[in-house]
Amino acid sequence: MMNPWPTQTYGDPSLPACVLLHGWLGSGNDWRVVIKALQPSFHCITVDLPGHGAHSLENQPESLDFLNLAPALHDTLRCALGKRTFALIGYSMGGRMALRYALQYPSTLRGLVLESCQPGLTSPHERRQRANLDEKGAQTLVDKGLPQFLERWYNAPLFRSLHQHPERLKEMLKERATNRPEDVARVLRELSPGRQQPVWEQLPQLTLPTFLLTGQLDPKYPNIMQQMQHQLPQSQVTIVEGAGHNVHWEAPQTWLQHVIPFLQQFSQEN
């Protein structure tokens, strides 16, 4: 068994379990607002993904790949939950990790929630473009420093709706700036969608109940999530009005109104 990744647990361990995976530049702490509402009904576990929060990459020589990271996440969750099944929730990069995990370990899951993520790029040209873009971004991050990179990153069209909440965004950027630049740059480079093997063709094999959501103000992901919904046999999709890429941060109450009923399907299971 591999060394477990850093985790945080919340709520009564006897309740149905749900595991939450954050996006790039975040940490398990990103889920704190929604966890307050989930806690009375669910045993919540957050994970610091490689290179984020308390999960340093200083002693990880192997290259990062979701296919190889899934067993490490599996070992981590076996340590935290034993043989119990659970619902898995992933946002953005964490959603890509969650999807890869679900394809490799479907029998461990009760259900899957994917927020603003994708199964990979299918065009070789798009893959090369994205890999090059993320390579340049990683180098800029190291050369210019994380605070300057963050300001530029969160001014991109994908995150424009975050600026509707300037004080909260300021706090988010402060938290993001505590990451080690070398680690998050490495993650950007090695876990780029341009390097990720696409799994579109495997989606019909995933028969888990799956809930997909993103924000209507996101310029990219509503279309992707709707395409995924057509490929996943037991899935539903919601596009949240007034929110963008990061729904659980921008509109936590709306996120909860959609996600809790989905999770409650499993609340009576042992």
Alpha helices in 26-165 (DSSP H): 32-38, 66-81, 93-104, 124-144, 146-153
pLDDT at 3: 78
Tell me the one-letter amino acid at 182. Answer: E
CA gap 217, 59 in Å, rounded = 39
Q: Residues 87-106: what's their mean pLDDT? A: 98
pLDDT at 270: 45
Q: Which helix (H) or strand (E) holds 237?
A: strand 235-240
Sole residue written with tokens 């300037």: 166
Which residues, 6+ apart, have CB-to-CB distance to 95 below 8 Å?
21, 23, 114, 115, 116, 117
pLDDT at 269: 52
pLDDT at 59: 79
Higher pLDDT, 142 or 2: 142
Assess whether pLDDT exceeds 90 at residue 81. yes
pLDDT at 248: 98
Does the reported pTM lie above 0.95?
Answer: yes
CB 93 within 8 A of CB 223: no
Assess whether pLDDT exceeds 90 at residue 19. yes
**Crossing angle of helices 146-153/166-176, nearest 10°?**
140
CA gap 100, 133 in Å, rounded = 23
pLDDT at 7: 97
Assess whether pLDDT exceeds 50 at residue 239. yes
pLDDT band of 39, cuts 50, 70, 90: very high
CA gap 256, 13 in Å, rounded = 21
CA gap 144, 266 in Å, rounded = 47
pLDDT at 58: 87
- Domain segments of the chain: what residues? 7-122+197-266
Sole residue written with tokens 């065009």: 123
Assess whether pLDDT exceeds 60 at residue 35. yes
| Nearest CA-CA partner of 138 in 149, 151, 127 | 149
> Which residues on adjacent β-strands are paired with residue 151?
none
Please give the mean pLDDT across all residues of the chain.
95
Cα separation values, 84 from 87, 114, 223, Å: 10, 21, 34
Q: Residues 104-129: what's their mean pLDDT? A: 97
| Nearest CA-CA partner of 97 in 135, 136, 49 | 49
Tell me the one-letter amino acid at 240. Answer: V
pLDDT band of 1, cuts 50, 70, 90: low
pLDDT at 14: 92
pLDDT at 267: 65
CA angle 223, 229, 230 (to 5 degrees): 95
Tell me the one-letter amino acid at 168. Answer: R
Q: What are phi and psi of 269, to 5 degrees?
A: -85, 150
Q: pLDDT exceeding 70 applies to what percent of the chain?
A: 98
pLDDT at 61: 73
Q: Residues 109-131: what's their mean pLDDT? A: 96
Class of domain 7-122+197-266: alpha beta
Q: What is the DSSP string of 173-192?
A: HHHHTTS-HHHHHHHHHHT-
Assess whether pLDDT exceeds 80 at residue 266. no
Q: Residues 201-229: what's their mean pLDDT? A: 97
